[in-house]
Structure 1
Amino acid sequence: MIKIGPAGGSSTGKAWNDGGRVRIRQIFVSHGNLINSLQFQFVENGTLVLSQKYGGSGGIIPENFSVVTLNYPSEFLTGINVWHYNGQIVSLTFSTSKGRYGPFGGQSSKPYYSTFDYKLGEDNTFGGFHGTGDVYLNSIGVYMKPMTTLSNANNPEVHVKDEKV
């Protein structure tokens, strides 16, 4: 797997890692002006499994809670747009093979905010999430599975060397 990111304040908060959990059914987003927390529901061995909650309560009342439900297995993640500022995730948008969900969180168009787009493509290469969190979600990154076949490569000159890493 290829580890990408994280975007945001990766040096703050407790590290978390859901690498290898790829069959996402639902994403639970707690948000106000920032992203407070994320939690995921995965399909593992035909069973629905809930991840830990990453991040915290944010201390913002009232807090918004949104649920993204993917039409698993035909719908899968193809990208995530992250806006962050000062060590916190301000806004998240999830792209899938069938549409977009979000943005969740606060206003993401301020000129001093930073943005990062994780574009995973249409080949279902999502390999899991990682990041940091404490009172808020501080950072988020993704794992990407490399292509394991050449079925999408149109170049007959491509040769794959089998190496152990």
Structure 2
Amino acid sequence: MARTNKTEYGPFGNKTGNQFSIQAPKDNQIAGFQGTSSNVLNSIDVHFAPIPSASAGGQPAGSAASAKKLEAKGGNAGNPWDDGAHDGVKKVCVGQGESGVTYVKFVYEKDSKEVPGNDHGKKTLLAPEEFVLDPNEYITAVEINYDNIFGTESEIITMLKFMTNKRTSPPFGLEGAKSVLLKEDGHKIVGFHGKAGADILHQVGVHVKPISK
């Protein structure tokens, strides 16, 4: 179970064995996780960081304050994931299966440093395809195709295509029955979120920030 400054999520899993909680010290927040795992999660610990001071507008200071989260599109199944908002996107990795997009991973830029996102979905025998952005290139929109494929519990992502300020990526996957373009005029995409099953992608959404003049 996870608690934030606004709400509570979970529980995730079943209550068995020993139970404990980790509380952030005063004026601190949980900023990262560490632990050990095998085929199950064996241990978990956290990193703390000071809570950013409020800006004049009452929002946390820093680059995330100006970010906006656009609703994810696709099927309503799978587990939610969220890479958060960064300064930009440096690389996109997309894996495909017989029915649709099975895997995504994004590499971001934050404070001039490369920040790899987590794996979402499952890799197949086919190596993931990559779309690498040039310096000063940023993603302005993503086209999402999704469909209800026979044998799937919900609609799945069948194709992703990325538009930047310089070009358009090749389509990763096949066109589906439904198509939507995620974008915000005058903004760039700086993060992704969505839902994924064990071996398929169900939803994709984005975080956007105003393009610096």
Tell me how large the CA RMSD over aligned residues is.
2.1
- Give CA deviations for 1:8-40 in whole Å, capped at 9, x if unaligned: 11x311111122123211111111341111101
Deviation, structure 1 residue 124 = 4.3
Assess if the C-alpha contact under 8 Å between 1:32 and 1:64 holds in 2.
no
The equivalent position to 2:82 in structure 1, one of 14, 17, 36, is 17
Question: 1:46-125 counterparts in 2 under 5 A?
Answer: 46-57=112-123, 62-72=125-135, 74-86=136-148, 87-105=155-173, 107-108=174-175, 113-121=177-185, 123-125=186-188
**1:89 partner letter:** I
Could you state the TM-score of these two structures normalised by the residue count of structure 1? 0.75
Q: 1:77 to 1:147 in 2, by over 3 A?
A: closer
Deviation, structure 1 residue 147 = 7.0
Deviation, structure 1 residue 64 = 4.7
State the percentage of identical aligned residues. Answer: 24
The equivalent position to 1:129 in structure 2, one of 192, 198, 204, is 192
**Cα distance in structure 2, aligned partners of 1:14 and 1:125:** 26
The equivalent position to 1:29 in structure 2, one of 94, 104, 112, is 94
SS in 1 for 2:108: strand
- Give CA deviations for 1:77-130 in whole Å, capped at 9, x if unaligned: 01110000122100010000110112001x31x5xx111011334x44324211
Assess if the C-alpha contact under 8 Å between 1:41 and 1:49 holds in 2.
yes
SS in 1 for 2:169: strand
Q: Unpaired runs of 5+ in structure 1? A: 152-165
1:38 aligns with 2:104: yes
**Cα distance in structure 2, aligned partners of 1:24 and 1:143:** 11
Q: Unpaired runs of 5+ in structure 2? A: 1-66, 149-154
Question: 1:144-159 counterparts in 2 under 5 A?
Answer: 144-146=208-210
Q: 1:35 to 1:21 in 2, by over 3 A?
A: same
Q: 1:63 to 1:140 in 2, by over 3 A?
A: same
Q: Which runs of 4+ in 1 moved over 3 A?
A: none
- Give CA deviations for 1:40-99 in whole Å, capped at 9, x if unaligned: 111223322211111123xx6x42521110013x10001110000122100010000110
Higher relative contact order (CA 8 A, sep 6+): 1
